[in-house]
Chain A
Amino acid sequence: MDMSQYKDLFVSEVREHLQGMNEAIVALEGAPAEREQIDYLFRMAHSIKGMAASMGYGEMAELSHKMEDLMDRVRKGAIRFVSAVADLLLEGSDLLSTMLKDIDAGGSGQHDILDLVQRLAGYTPTQSIETPLPGKEATTDSVDPSTTDQSLENTAPKNLELEIVRCKPDSPQNVRVRTEVLDNLVNITGELITHKNRMISLSRDVKAAALTDSISDLSRLVRELHDEVLKVRLMPFAAAVDRLPRMVRDLAKKSGKEVTFEVSGKEIELDRGIVEELSDPLLHLLRNAVDHGLETPDERKAAGKEPAGTISIDVHREKDRVLITVCDDGMGMDPQRLVSAALEKGLLSPEAAAQLTPQQALMLVCLPGFSTAPEITDVSGRGVGMDAVRASVQAIGGNLAIESALGKGSCFTLSLPLTISIIQILLVACAKLIVGLPVTKVLRTVDMRKEMIRSRGKGKVFQLGNEEIPLVSLHRLLDLPFSPIKGESVPAVIVKMNERTVALVVDRFVGQQDVFVKPFGSPLNRMKGFLGGAILGDGQVIFIIDPANLL
């Protein structure tokens, strides 16, 4: 029987199971006796085994079978869930994930599993390894399974056990929807709003009471639809942080530090576009917090602190923004030393340095080039990829603020918009300028061969099928110096301008991109023909053209 048609479903389900597994393993490390989690982990391994076997991925099935066996021994009380068990299981989960990626990419999912399979099967606890795990021994917040279906909104999650229960697979009331269907819904709703506005202005001229009433009902419905559609795009912040406990655990192990990781406000919902973009900045911030923010257990003891450092992520709403704070109780940063480091690097003039407030001095870590020199990182204890963090946060319409107290720790606050207007744009180059056109306004792009271009009256036209399309130079529309046509063809974007189809001649196509549109304030908002600006990944500011209004 041909199973290939089920592959996508298999990949997505196993991926989810593996994610659940990772979370459960890390959670169990903190609370090794949590029965619910042990059972859950066993079930995940069991399901993966079954699915992989039915799809014919023998090695994947065997590996998950051995993991299931190990969990079974834990379940029966034969061995304790100690750090070494967690390490083996995480290694297994990583290998399964590698195999899954191969399958997803069209491969056979084959991999050398022999070594790990042997270690899983041959695991025997030794007294020396069986040291009790640090951290949350006592499960003070252990969850009664019968109550977990209720809304947890008022109980700020305090530990991971609580979280896992929430993240179990979808209940039957939920359906999976492809993201492009959601995006289409948003676009169509946007168009509906435009048309509703047009009908409102038309009805003013007609002055028919019945029509006005009907349109006002329509307005209300469209508004409700818009709200609902935007809600569909919302997803809990949990989606951005679910893999983080695992990551913090690994980082802490590598750097020999003890870390208690806390997340609160996971249930807060944000636009999907924002949640997707958050992974990388959060990862950078956590890596910095573990590597540079927190001290080693010995250093902490010497400073009179608990040996285990705390890193916390807190999410909460504030008016129309969502604030995400990443805090550590480590060594903190010294604004004065950051200033000296920036001066040394030549990133700052002495004059400018004198004007900096301590708050502004902390932001120096976000300067490109500040972090690259290792000696500066040592001095500052920060800075790895902070320019990238700030750039990605700004690209989704957000802002980064830093607070720090020497010896007490640092807090990085991302302030983000609740919803986001992300549109797909076509980037085109015109002289030295790169501008964007919303893809929805582009009828098509063409490479016009020179012989297809003819003169008509004062201007030129291009033969496209049966139609003669007038050429309009984007250079001229944007008051840019005209560059002569090189090569055999001329790139152009076919758009509607003043209800008329025209070919906008550009220098070249640069690519397509999803951008967050920032409308202009005064005075640039007086400029006709632009929807707003956007910041590209490299920090470049571009203008987004509204072709219909450019004339």
Chain B
Amino acid sequence: MSGRARRFLIFTLRGDRYAMNVSDLAEVMEPPPTFPIPKAPKTFLGVMNFHGAPLPVLDLASFFHGDPPESTGRILILDHKIGSLALRIDTVERIISDIRGLQIQQQDEGSYARQSIMFNAEKIPLLAIDLLMAELEDEIRTGGGKSESFTEVKAEKG
């Protein structure tokens, strides 16, 4: 780190706390109107108009737990260097800074976190956005071609 303290946004999903690097975020906002994304995995709420650009909104609760996507809570817009993606979460709790000497531990496998933050005697997983992005890219690339019509037209072609 370049001398400046890292800051983390603490948010909740179905009552569980998660942390995210503030530097991975561009904006926090209220849920905007969304429009359907054809062929997209069901975990997407839709696509929103973000300053004139189409931006897909992933429901993180739905992605982690498989519930149907919801349009309440808050929307986290990721920094454009990471990708064109917005995440729906339940609530934003606070922003903490590791200036107070936060304990950051290596996290066990799973749930898109490599590390966790010890805060108020609670172990909060720190979201590894790159893992999440890689998984999403994979899902979207393979998700499209599975439809019935694919085989149908292939058959017609022969």
The residues of A with any CB-CB pair to B shorter than 8 Å are 349, 352, 355, 393-395, 397-399, 432-433, 435, 457-459, 470, 472-473, 476-480, 497-498, 500, 502, 518, 520-524, 526-530, 532-535, 539-543, 551
Contacts and interface: CB of A to CB of B under 8 A. Distances in A.
16 contacts: A395-B52, A399-B51, A433-B36, A457-B155, A476-B147, A478-B39, A479-B38, A479-B147, A500-B157, A520-B54, A523-B83, A526-B141, A527-B39, A527-B140, A528-B141, A543-B37
Contact of A524 (B29, B84, B155, B156): B84
- Name the residue among B133, B137, B144 with the largest chain A CB count within 10 angstroms: B144
A394 B145 CA distance: 32
A551 B150 contact: yes
Given A457-B156, A478-B38, A527-B40, 5 more contacts: A433-B38, A457-B155, A478-B39, A521-B84, A543-B47
Contacts of A523: 56, 83-85, 133, 136-137, 140
Contact of B144 (A393, A395, A498, A527): A527
B45 to A, nearest CB: 12
A163 to B, nearest CB: 31
Nearest to A535: B49
Given A394-B49, A399-B52, A541-B47, A522 B133 contact: yes
Interface in B107-158: 133, 136-138, 140-141, 144-145, 147-150, 152-157
Contacts of B144: 527-529
B48 interface: yes
Interface residues on B, range: 35 or more
Of all A-B residue pairs in the complex, the 8 with the closest CB atoms, nearest first, are A394-B52, A521-B84, A533-B54, A476-B149, A478-B38, A526-B141, A522-B83, A523-B136
Contact of B137 (A526, A535, A540): A526
Contact of B47 (A393, A397, A529, A533): A533
A395 B39 CA distance: 24
A535 B83 contact: no
Interface string B21-42: 0000000111001011111100
B11 to A, nearest CB: 13
Nearest to B158: A457
A197 B152 CA distance: 31
A473 B85 contact: no
Contacts of A528: 141, 144-145
A473 B30 contact: no
Nearest to A456: B156
Contacts of A459: 152, 155-156
A423 B35 CA distance: 21
B51 A394 contact: yes
B80 interface: yes
B1 interface: no
Contacts of B84: 520-524
- Name the residue among B33, B36, B133 with the largest chain A CB count within 10 angstroms: B36
B53 interface: yes
Nearest to A351: B30
Contacts of A532: 54
A521 B83 contact: yes
A38 B157 CA distance: 74
Contacts of A477: 147, 149
Nearest to B134: A523
A520 B50 CA distance: 12
B82 to A, nearest CB: 8
A540 B38 contact: no
A539 B49 contact: yes
A535 B52 contact: yes
A472 B83 contact: no
Contacts of B33: 539
A339 B121 CA distance: 38
Given A352-B30, A470-B156, A393 B52 contact: yes
Contacts of A398: 52
Nearest to B48: A541
Contacts of A526: 137-138, 140-141
B121 to A, nearest CB: 27
B54 A518 contact: yes
A322 B149 CA distance: 45
A472 B153 CA distance: 7
Nearest to A460: B156
B152 A458 contact: yes
A473 B156 CA distance: 13
A527 B47 CA distance: 14
Contacts of B147: 476-477, 479
A476 B140 contact: no
A524 B154 CA distance: 25
B36 to A, nearest CB: 5
B39 A541 contact: no
A18 B28 CA distance: 51
Contacts of B155: 457-459
Given A523-B83, A524-B37, A472 B149 contact: yes
Contact of A349 (B30, B52, B137, B157): B30
Contacts of A522: 83-85, 133, 137
A457 B84 CA distance: 43
Contacts of B141: 526-528
Contacts of A520: 54, 84
A472 to B, nearest CB: 6
Contacts of A533: 47, 53-54
Nearest to B132: A523
A526 B83 CA distance: 12
Contact of A435 (B38, B49, B149, B157): B38
B49 A541 contact: yes
Contacts of A541: 35, 47-49, 54
A181 to B, nearest CB: 30
A355 B74 CA distance: 12
Contacts of A432: 36
Contacts of B154: 551
